[in-house]
C-alpha cells in the first residue's frame, strides 16, 4: 500500500461521516423548505428549531448502519489488546473524562475566545439552544457518541496507529475529531476531549469504554451543566471547577494504580 493510499485509508472514516452529514443536511433542508414554504436556510432553521437535531440523528443512524461492517473488519485488520477493565475501572474512566471535559470547556468559555472566534456563538451554539430535550438526549448523548467513537476511535485511530504508531495515532485522531466539529472553539474542546477518549480506548482496548465516557461527557453538558448554572444564577463557580479538576485527577491516579496492579496479577 502506497503512502497516499494509507493516508486515504486513515481519513476515509471522517470523510464518510462529513459527506453523510452534508447529504442529510441538503435533503432535510429541501424537505423542510417545502413544508414551511421557505428556501433560505436561516429562516428554515428559525421556523424548524428541531431540524439540527434531526439532521444529527439521521446522520449518526446512517453512519452506524453503513459503517458497522467496516468497523468489524477493522477490528480484525488492526487488533488491539483487550486489557479487560472491570466495572470500577470503567466508572473511574467516565468520571475522570466527564469532569476533565467540563473543566476544559469552562476554561475555554472563560478565556474570551468566543468573542474572537464568533462562528461558534453565531452558528453552532444556537443549534443546541431551546431544543427538545428528548431529541437532544437521543442525538447528543446516545447516537452521537456511538457513531463518533466508531468512526474516530474504532476506525480512524486503529488505522493511524497501525500505519504510524500509537502516539501519532492518538494525536491524529484528536486532531481529526477537532476539525470535524467545524469551528475554532469546538476544535479546541474536541481536540482535548478526543485526546482523552483515544487514550482511554488505547489503554482499555474496548470501544465501549470510550463510548461510555463520551456519553457521560455529553450527558453532563446537556443535563449537569445547565443544572449547575441554574443553581448558581447562570454561571459555574470557580470552586466547582476546582473540585471537578481534583476529582478528575484523583480518578486518573486511582485508575492508573488499579490497571497497573491488575496487569501485574495477569
pLDDT at 124: 63
pLDDT at 100: 96
pLDDT at 244: 96
Q: Is 85:209 a contact under the CB 8 Å cutoff?
A: yes
pTM above 0.75, yes or no: yes
Q: Is 162:198 a contact under the CB 8 Å cutoff?
A: no
Under 8 Å CB-to-CB from 80, ≥6 apart: which residues? 158, 201, 202, 205
Tell me the C-alpha distance between 208 and 33, whole Å.
38
pLDDT at 241: 94
Per-residue tens of pLDDT for the chain, all 266 residues: 789 999 999 999 999 999 999 999 999 999 988 888 887 887 888 888 889 999 999 999 999 999 999 999 999 999 888 778 899 999 999 999 999 999 999 999 888 887 777 766 666 666 677 788 999 999 999 999 999 999 999 999 999 999 999 999 999 999 999 999 988 889 999 999 999 999 999 999 999 999 999 999 999 999 998 888 888 888 889 999 999 999 999 999 999 998 877 666 55
pLDDT at 26: 94
In the numeric block, the cell 414551511 is attached to: 36
pLDDT at 164: 94
What cell was used for 168?
Answer: 501519532
pLDDT at 255: 93
Under 8 Å CB-to-CB from 259, ≥6 apart: which residues? 83, 85, 89, 203
DSSP codes, 54-100: HHHHHHHHHHHHHHHHHHHHHHHHS--------HHHHHHHHHHHHHH
Residue 96's Cα: distance from chain center in Å?
A: 15
The domain containing residue 247 runs over which residues?
3-265
Number of domains in the chain: 1
pLDDT at 219: 96
Amino acid at each position: 500500500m502506497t503512502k497516499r493510499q494509507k493516508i486515504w485509508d486513515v481519513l476515509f472514516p471522517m470523510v464518510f461521516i462529513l459527506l453523510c452529514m452534508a447529504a442529510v443536511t441538503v435533503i432535510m433542508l429541501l424537505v423542510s423548505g417545502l413544508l414551511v414554504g421557505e428556501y433560505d436556510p436561516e429562516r428554515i432553521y428559525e421556523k424548524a428549531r428541531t431540524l439540527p437535531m434531526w439532521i444529527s440523528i439521521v446522520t449518526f443512524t446512517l453512519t452506524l448502519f453503513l459503517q458497522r461492517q467496516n468497523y468489524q473488519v477493522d477490528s480484525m485488520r488492526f487488533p488491539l489488546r483487550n486489557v479487560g477493565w472491570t466495572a470500577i475501572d470503567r466508572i473511574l474512566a467516565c468520571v475522570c473524562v466527564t469532569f476533565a471535559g467540563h473543566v476544559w470547556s469552562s476554561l475555554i468559555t472563560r478565556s474570551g475566545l468566543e468573542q474572537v472566534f464568533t462562528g461558534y456563538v453565531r452558528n453552532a451554539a444556537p443549534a443546541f439552544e431551546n431544543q427538545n430535550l428528548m431529541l437532544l438526549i437521543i442525538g447528543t448523548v446516545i447516537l452521537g457518541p456511538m457513531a463518533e467513537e466508531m468512526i474516530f476511535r474504532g476506525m480512524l485511530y486503529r488505522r493511524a496507529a497501525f500505519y504510524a504508531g500509537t502516539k501519532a495515532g492518538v494525536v491524529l485522531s484528536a486532531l481529526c475529531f477537532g476539525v470535524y466539529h467545524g469551528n475554532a472553539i469546538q476544535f479546541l474542546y474536541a481536540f482535548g476531549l478526543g485526546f482523552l477518549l483515544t487514550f482511554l480506548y488505547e489503554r482499555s482496548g474496548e470501544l465501549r469504554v470510550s463510548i461510555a465516557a463520551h456519553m457521560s461527557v455529553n450527558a453532563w453538558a446537556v443535563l449537569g451543566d445547565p443544572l449547575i448554572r441554574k443553581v448558581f444564577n447562570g454561571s459555574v463557580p470557580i470552586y466547582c471547577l476546582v473540585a471537578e479538576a481534583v476529582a478528575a485527577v484523583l480518578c486518573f491516579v486511582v485508575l492508573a494504580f488499579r490497571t497497573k496492579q491488575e496487569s501485574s496479577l495477569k
